[in-house]
Structure 1
Amino acid sequence: MNTYEIIKTLANGRKMTVAELERKLDLSNGSVSKWAKSTPNSKYLEKVADYFDVSVDYLLGRSAKQVEFDLDKAIDNAMSFDGKPVTEHDRKMMKQLWKAYMAGKEKE
């Protein structure tokens, strides 16, 4: 896949179009589509990589693997419904739910 196809796939994963992504990141209309045939400016590529939390190498197709997702770090940043820190019980439940979800995704 080329850079444009990778970005389009990431955008689709967030239920957004490439045009919506361009607007959200303040990129000119059609600029990402042009990346199907040309190399993007690193400044804009970094902006897209930061938005999707992936590496620039991933967007360029140099790395088959996205940036590792750190579940513990994500849970540390989470808050419960009432704004209190996540309890150890909630942490265990969140991990179990995430692992079950990912196991189901692998079967698709």
Structure 2
Amino acid sequence: MSAFDIVKKLCEEQKISVVELEERLSFSRNSLYSWKKNKPSSDKLEKVADYFDVSTDYLLGRTDKKRYYDLTEKDEKDIQNELKKIINGEEVDSAFAAFDGKVLEELSEEDRELLIASWENTLRLTKRIAKEKFTPKKYRD
């Protein structure tokens, strides 16, 4: 997939045309269309990446991660493992350490599912925030 195809897809997600993006970024008309055959210049690539809040590597098709702090498959597996530990009442290194696993048994099935979903979302959000906040600048895209 070319850089242009990726930009076009991002434009569709934002419900704007490529021409409208060019106007918003003060690019000359059809300059983004030239990305179909030519490599984009670094300054224009950065402007487009900043506009869509994605990495330049994502625009160039080098990665599927839009942002450096997006969760990877490994992160998702870690979250699921942590969640299992919380549910089973095992020792965990988080705010859930004080949780008593017996509480889940006392809840209705619906409340139990809601609580587990809430924990999962909390783990996912804290992991993403930690990556965003603590990733050294040299590893950011």
TM-score (norm 1): 0.62
What is the 5 A alignment of 1:9-20?
A: 9-20=9-20
SS in 2 for 1:65: coil
Count of aligned pairs = 72
CA RMSD in angstroms comes to: 1.7
Counterpart in the other structure of 2:48: 48
Q: State the Cα distance separating 1:65 from its structure 2 match.
A: 1.2
Gaps of at least 5 residues in structure 2 are: 71-117, 122-141
- Percent identity between the two aligned chains: 48
Structure of higher RCO (CA pairs closer than 8 Å, 6+ residues apart)? 2
Q: 1:12, 1:22 → 2: CA distance?
A: 14
Q: State the Cα distance separating 1:15 from its structure 2 match.
A: 0.3
SS in 2 for 1:31: coil
Counterpart in the other structure of 1:3: 3
TM-score (norm 2): 0.48
SS in 2 for 1:35: helix
SS in 2 for 1:51: helix
Q: State the Cα distance separating 1:4 from its structure 2 match.
A: 0.1
Q: Which amino acid aligns with 1:32?
A: L
Structure with more of its chain in helix, by fraction:
2
Q: 2:55, 2:44 → 1: CA distance?
A: 13
1:43-73: per-residue Cα shift (whole Å, max 9, x none)? Answer: 000000000000001000011111146xxxx
Counterpart in the other structure of 2:124: none
Q: 2:12, 2:19 → 1: CA distance?
A: 11
Q: 2:21, 2:31 → 1: CA distance?
A: 11
Gaps of at least 5 residues in structure 1 are: 70-95, 100-108
Q: Which runs of 4+ in 1 moved over 6 A?
A: none
What is the 5 A alignment of 1:1-80?
A: 1-67=1-67, 68=69
